[in-house]
Amino acid sequence: QSELVESGGGLVQPGGSLRLSCTAPGFTLEYYAVGWFRQAPGKEREGVSCISRSDGITGYADSVKGRFTISRDNAKNTVYLQMNSLKPEDTAVYYCAAGRHCTTNPLEYKYWGHGTQVTVSS
């Protein structure tokens, strides 16, 4: 059962930007680490970025480092993923997930969203 809601995906040209949002209608995201994952057709789900629950420490996959930025707005109960300089290989369904700690293991996250499609193409 999905507890999170993602938005902000779409079609963008290479080099463009998108900002994904992740909200939790039923609970307070501030008390959870929140990760962004993505899954392209025929590939495994991979961790993209994560922000810790207490001190706001962030982490990024090497493939997105320097291009993506994760942040949280506790007043809006929302976590964002700002994606710049997008490449065709960034095309995937992007999911947000909430758990106790930042980890690249999807099994350690308790709550998930349905995902939002990001397509980078000219």
Please give the Cα distance from 9 to 4 (Å, whole number). 15
Residue burial 13-28, b: 16+ Cβ < 10 Å; e: rest = eeeeebebbbbbeeee
**CA Rg value for the chain:** 13
Which residue in this structure is represented by tokens 């420490």?
Answer: 57
Kindly give the confidence (pLDDT) of every residue in the chain, 122 residues in length, as a single tens digit, with 9 standing for 90 and above: 458 999 999 999 999 999 999 999 989 999 999 999 999 999 999 999 999 998 889 999 999 999 999 999 999 999 999 999 999 999 999 999 999 999 999 999 999 999 999 999 99
Beta-strand ranges (E) seen in the chain are 5-7, 10-12, 18-23, 33-39, 46-51, 58-60, 68-73, 78-83, 92-99, 109-112, 116-120
Q: What is the pLDDT of residue 26?
A: 87
